Chain A
Amino acid sequence: MKVDVSRKRPDPSPASQTESVPGPTAQGAAPPPLEARNLGRRFGRRWVVRDLSFQVPRGSVTALLGRNGVGKSTTIQLLLGLLDPSEGEARAFGADPRRLRADLFRRTGYVSERRELLEDQSVEGLARIVAELHGPRFDRERFEDLRRRYELDPQARCKTLSKGQRARLLLALALAPSPELLVLDEPTSGLDVLVRDDFLAGIAEAAAEEDRAVLLSSHLIDDVARICDRAVILREGRPPLCGDLEALRASCSRYLVRLKGVLPASASLPLPADAVLLERDPRALTLVAQGACEHLEAELDACLPVAELERRPATLKEAFACLSAPAQGGAS
C-alpha cells in the first residue's frame, strides 16, 4: 500500500516562532492531549529540562527535536506521568497525568525508545494481554491487519524479534486500540531504510486518522520533515522553540561567506551570537543563522574579512542545526 508521506497537514495553530505558550487551539474548550507548563526536571543538581512550555494539539503531528542528551525522552516521560516533574506541571487531556495513569494509557499509544516488551511472550500472547488490558477498545482485526502488514509471525517470541520487528509490533499494539494520542520516542532509530519507510508510512496513516495527536521524538530530520507539521526544539541552556515546522525552517538562512585571503585553520572565528558554523575551509565559511538578514550581514562584515556574502533559505536540517545549538552558539 503506497502512502504519500510527504503530505503536510494544516497547521492548527498560527505559525509562530515564539518562545511563549501557544494560545488555545481551534478546539476551544477541549484541552490539548498534552501540555507542558514551565515544566522542569533535574537529576541531582543537573537540570535536564527546564522552562518547557508547549502544547501538542489534536490533529497535529508534533516533532520533539533536540540534540542527544537534551532531554527528549525525559520530556515524554514527564508528559506521560512516568516521571515526577521537579518544577512546573504536565497536563494530559487536561489533567495531571500521574493521576490519570491507567486512563491515560487507555487513550494513548506509546512506542518507547527502548522498545520494551514482555520477552517471554509470543506476539499473539502479548496481543492477548494488551487486548485484555484495553478491553473492547482494542480492535483485534486491526491488530491482525497491522501484524500481517508488518510481517510479524504470531508465534514468534518477543525475545527473538529484531529491533525493527519490535518497533513494528509496538506500533501495531499502540494503534490497535485507536488511541487519541500517539507518542513515539525515537521510533525509527536503528531501522534500515526500507523498514523505516514502512514504519513512517504507518505513522502517517495513523496521524491522518480521526483527530489524533501525534508526538514524535526524533533526531532524524528527514523523518520529521516527512510527516510532522509542528516542532518543539529543545535546546541546552536555552528556552525551547515551538511552532510550525515550515516557519521554524524559514526563520533561518544559510550564508556562504567568501573571505578575502586565506583563513588559517587554527584561527578563531568571532561569529555573531545567532550564527552557527556549518562548514569551514580556508577561503570560505558556511553559516546558518536565525534572525533579520540585514542585521546579521552587518555583523559578519564587521567581524570577518568578507569578500562576498551569499544568502539562501536554510534547509530543515540546517535550521535544526542553528535552532538547537546550545546557549553559547558558534559550535557546529
Chain B
Amino acid sequence: MSRTLWMREVRRLAPFGTGSLLWVYGSRLAYQPPPQGLPEDVFLVPGACLLAPLLLGAISVAPEARTGALAFLRRQPLSLSRQYLVRVTAALAWLLPSWLLLCADSLFAVQAPPPVTNGGPGVWASLWALAFGAGLLASTIAFEALSALFLALAFGLVGSGLLLAADVLVLGMAPLTPQAVALAAFVFAGSALASSYVAFVRGELQHRSVRPLMLGTTCLAGALGLGLLGTAAAQAYTVRAVVAQLPLGGDRSRAGGRLAVSLQGATWAGDEDRVAVFARGGDAPRVLDVRGVRRPVFSPDGGRLLLFDRQRRARWLYDLDRGARAELVARPGTSFDGGEVLWTDAGPLLLAAGSGSLAAFDPRTGESNLASLPKGMRLAGVRPGAHPLVLHDAQRLYAADCPRVPARSEADLAIEPAARLGDGSRSGALSHWAEVVLSPNGRYALCRDRDAARPLVLFDLVTPEAPPRRLPLAAPSAAAPRAAPAPREAVLSIIEDGRTVSRSVERLRLLGTYSYGWDPSERRLALESPGGTVFLFDLESGRRAVLQSGRRSFPGRALAWSPSGRILALPSGAVVDVDSARLLGHAPVYAFLDEERVLLRGHRAAPLSLASALAGGAP
C-alpha cells in the first residue's frame, strides 16, 4: 500500500474526521437522560453519533470521482484493490478515535453517560461498521458527495430499519433493541463493504450505470436475509447455550420449586437480556421468549414472574404455566422504573414502591390503586401474615395493610398507632435514609443508617417490646480461617445433577456494603463486613463467631446457607461448616432447589450476585 497516498487520503479526510470526533464528543456532552419521561435509550443521540461513520463513508469515494482523482489514480500502476484498501483504511483510521471516544469512558473527564446505556464497544463497533459500510456503498455508487450522503442515509435507515423491524415482525420479539441485531448489523456492514468494493472495481466510474446499484442492492438483500437468520438463530437459544455464555442473577420462588435466572451479556447476536426458568422435577429448563427483560421476581405461589422491561421501562407479568404475558400499565404519575417490587402473600397483589407511594395491582384484572405513604415513611418490606407491609420513619417501624384493589378512594396509607413494631429512637439506627431489610419470614428487621458509620441494628418484629440489638462487627480473632482469594473461575456456572442441567442462584442480598444471609430457621445471621470479614450471629443466644477474617471484600456476592442450616457459602467462594467453623473447600459449590442438589461450576464472567450452599457431605 502506498504510504504517501495513504497519508494524502488521511489528510483529505481530516476535516471530516475531526468533525466526527467533535460531533461524537458533543453528542455525549449534550446527552443527559431526563429523570423521568423519555426512556434512557433515546435513539436520537445514537443516531446522531452514527452520522460520523456515515459521513466518512460517504465522502470516501464520491468527491474523488467528481474531481477526477479517481480517474487519475486508475491510470497509475496501482491496483483497484489497493486503491480501495487505501481509502477504507484511511477512513477507518479516523473512525477509530471517534469510536474510542464514544466507548472508552476512561478517556473522558465529563460525567456523561453513554448514549445507549447497554451498548458496549462491540455493539457500537457493529453499528459503526453498518453506517460506514452504507456510506461507502453510497459513495461508490454516487458521483457527488451530497448525493452520496443522501443515498447513504437512505441505505442506513432502510437497512437498520429492516433489521430492527425483522425482530418484531418475523421473530415476534419484544422489545425491539438495536443491540439485539448487532450481528445483523455486522453482516449488513460487511455486505455493504463487499458490494461497494464490487461497485468500485467493476463499476464504470466514467460512465454512469445502474450496475453498481444493482450489485449493491443484491448484496444488501442477501445481508438482510443473513441478518434475519442470525437473529432468528439467537432467538432459538437453548438454556445450555445461554447459561454457558451469560453471567446471571435471579430469584427463587418461595415454595422452592422454580428458579428464575436473569441472563445478561453480549453474545454473538448482540446484547442479551433474557430470563431462564428452572423447575424442579421433570420440567425442562427453558429461556422465556421475551427479550430485553431482567430482574425476575416470583409471585408467592411461584406461578408467575414479574419481569422488568429495561427498554420500555415497563413491567411484564409472565404466566409460567400458560406461557402468556401481560403488561402492567403504570398509573399516571407512577413509574416502575425504580423501587423494589414486592409480592404479598395476602392476595394477588403486587406492590411497587417508589417516590413515596405504593401502587397495588391485581394481576388478574389489571386494576390498580395508588396510595401515598404518610409523610416521612418508607417501605421496609413485605412479610407473611396479617399487616404484611413494614414501614419505617426516622424513629420507628410500623405495620400496615395493603391498599385495596380496586380502591374506593385514593388516600394515604393508614398507619395504626398500635401497629408499631419497634422503637429505634434510642438506638439511633433509624433515620429517614436508613436501609431496612426483613428476614425471609418477617421475624427480624435489619437496619443500617446509610449516612453514618453506625452499627447494624436488629429489630425483633415478633416481640416489638424487646429492645433492638446492636450487632458488633469487631476485629476478628487471629484463629479464624483466612479468606482465600476466589478461584480463578469464580463462583457459578452450569449445574448438573444426573441428567438434569440447571442452575441455581440466590437473589442479591446486600445491605449497604454488607452482605448478609439468614439461615433457613432465621436463628442465625451471617454478615460480611466491607473488609471481607464474615461474622456469624446466633440471634437466640447472642453468641458471635468469626468465620473468616477478611482482607479483601467480594462486592456483589452474597452469603448463602444450605437448607439444613449447617453449611454456609461465603462470598469469597469458600464453603464453611458452621457448626465446626471448618473450611470445607472452595469450588465446586453446590446449590439447592428444594432437596435437589445442583452443582455450580466455575464461570468465566463475574456473576452479578451469588453464592450458594452445601448440604453436608463432601462437595
A residues near B, CB below 8 A? 43, 77, 80, 82-84, 101-103, 105-106, 110, 112, 114-121, 125, 128-130, 132-135
Contacts and interface: CB of A to CB of B under 8 A. Distances in A.
Contact of A112 (B8, B71, B78): B71
B77 A114 contact: no
Nearest to B71: A116
Give the top 7 A-B pairs by smallest Cβ distance, nearest first.
Answer: A116-B68, A106-B77, A116-B72, A116-B71, A102-B79, A105-B77, A102-B77
Contacts of B3: 132
B72 A132 contact: no
B62 to A, nearest CB: 14
B4 A82 contact: no
Of the candidates A101, A110, A114, the one having the most CB atoms from chain B within 10 angstroms of its own CB is A101
Contacts of B82: 102
Contacts of A128: 4
Contacts of A110: 75
Interface in B189-209: 204, 206-207
Contacts of A115: 68
Interface of B: 2-5, 8, 11-12, 67-69, 71-80, 82, 204, 206-207
B5 A117 contact: no
A102 B78 contact: yes
B15 to A, nearest CB: 11
Nearest to A138: B77
Contact of A118 (B8, B74, B206): B8
12 contacts: A101-B80, A105-B76, A105-B78, A112-B75, A116-B69, A116-B72, A119-B67, A120-B11, A120-B12, A128-B4, A129-B4, A132-B4
Contacts of A82: 74-75, 206
Contacts of A101: 79-80
A82 B72 CA distance: 12
Contacts of B74: 82
Contacts of A43: 207
A117 B2 contact: no
A43 B206 CA distance: 12
Contacts of B75: 80, 82, 105, 110, 112
Given A119-B68, A121-B8, A132 B79 contact: no
A132 B5 contact: yes
B79 to A, nearest CB: 5
Contact of A117 (B68, B79, B206): B68
A69 to B, nearest CB: 14
Nearest to B68: A116
A129 B77 CA distance: 11
A120 B63 CA distance: 12
Contacts of B69: 116-119
B206 A77 contact: yes
Of the candidates B3, B71, B76, B79, the one having the most CB atoms from chain A within 10 angstroms of its own CB is B76
A43 B74 CA distance: 21
A28 B207 CA distance: 37
A103 B72 contact: no
A134 B8 CA distance: 17
B86 to A, nearest CB: 11
Contacts of A125: 8
Nearest to A108: B75
A74 to B, nearest CB: 9
B138 to A, nearest CB: 22
A128 B5 CA distance: 9
Nearest to B67: A119
B541 to A, nearest CB: 86
Given A82-B206, A132-B2, A133-B77, 11 more contacts: A43-B207, A83-B206, A101-B79, A103-B77, A105-B75, A105-B78, A110-B75, A132-B3, A132-B4, A133-B2, A133-B78
A130 B5 CA distance: 9
Nearest to B7: A129
A177 B79 CA distance: 18
B8 to A, nearest CB: 7
A136 to B, nearest CB: 12
A117 B72 contact: yes
Of the candidates A106, A115, A133, the one having the most CB atoms from chain B within 10 angstroms of its own CB is A133
B79 A133 contact: no
